[in-house]
Structure 1
Amino acid sequence: MTSQFLWVIFPYLCIAVFIVGHIFRYRHDQFGWTAKSSEFIEKKQLMIGSLLFHIGIFPVILGHVAGLGIPKEWTRAMGVSDHMYHIGAVWGGGFFGVVTLVGMIILTSRRFTNSNVRHLSSASDLIVNSFLLFIVFIGVYSSLITNTTTPGFDYRSTISIWFRSLLIFQPQAEFMASVPIAFKLHILTGFLIFAMWPFTRLVHVWSVPLNYVGRSYILYRKDKRD
Structure 2
Amino acid sequence: MLNLWLWGILPYIVLTIFIGGHFYRYQKDQFGWSTKSSEFLEKKRLRIGSLLFHWGILFVFGGHVLGLMIPVQFYEWLGVIEHMYHIVAISFGLPAGVAAMIGAIVLTWRRISVKRIKATTSASDWLTLILLIAVIVTGLTATTLNVDSNGFDYRTTIAPWLRGLFIFQVQPELMAQVPVWFKIHILTTFSLYVAWPFTRLVHVFSFPLRYLRRSYVIYKRRIPDQAIKNKRVS
Map 1:114-153 to 2 at 5 A: 114-143=114-143, 145-149=144-148, 151=150, 153=152
Deviations 1:118-147 (A, max 9, x none): 21110010011011011111111211x221
Q: Map of 1:1-226 to 2, 5 A cutoff?
A: 1-143=1-143, 145-149=144-148, 151=150, 153-210=152-209
CA–CA distance in structure 1, aligned partners of residues 113 and 2 of structure 2: 39
Q: TM-score, normalised by structure 2?
A: 0.84
**C-alpha distance in structure 2 between counterparts of 1:114 and 1:208, whole Å:** 30
Cα distance in 2, alignment partners of residues 171 and 150 from structure 1 = 30
Distance 1:149 1:115 in 2: 44
Kindly report the root-mean-square deviation, in angstroms, between the aligned alpha carbons of the 2 structures.
Answer: 1.8
Q: What is the TM-score normalised by the length of structure 1?
A: 0.87
Q: Which runs of 4+ in 1 moved over 3 A?
A: 149-152
**Contact kept? 1:67, 1:156, Cα under 8 Å:** yes
Q: Distance in 1 between matches of 2:45 and 2:160?
A: 40
Taking the aligned partners of 1:146 and 1:50, their CA distance within structure 2 comes to: 27
| Alpha-carbon displacement from aligned partner over 1:30-69 (angstroms, at most 9, x marks no partner) | 1111232211221111110001112211111111011111
Matching residue's letter, 1:195: V
Unaligned runs of 5+ in 2: 212-234
**What is the CA distance between 1:153 and its match in structure 2?**
2.1
| Residue correspondences, number | 211
Unaligned runs of 5+ in 1: 213-226
CA shift for structure 1 position 113: 3.1
Comparing 34-43 and 127-136, the one that deviates more: 34-43
* Deviation digits for residues 10-49 of structure 1 (CA, Å, limit 9, x no counterpart): 1111111111111111112111112322112211111100
Secondary structure at the aligned position of 1:171 is classed as coil
Compute the displacement of 1:205 (Å). Answer: 2.1
- Aligned residues of 1:135 and 1:190 also touching (Cα < 8 A): yes
> d(CA) in 1 for partners of 2:73 and 2:210?
37
- In the TM superposition, what whole-angstrom CA distance separates every residue of 1:159-216 from its partner, at most 9, and x where no partner exists? 112111212111111111121222111111112211211111111222253599xxxx
Which one-letter code corresponds to 2:57 in the other structure? I
For the pair shown, the structure with the greater C-alpha radius of gyration is 2
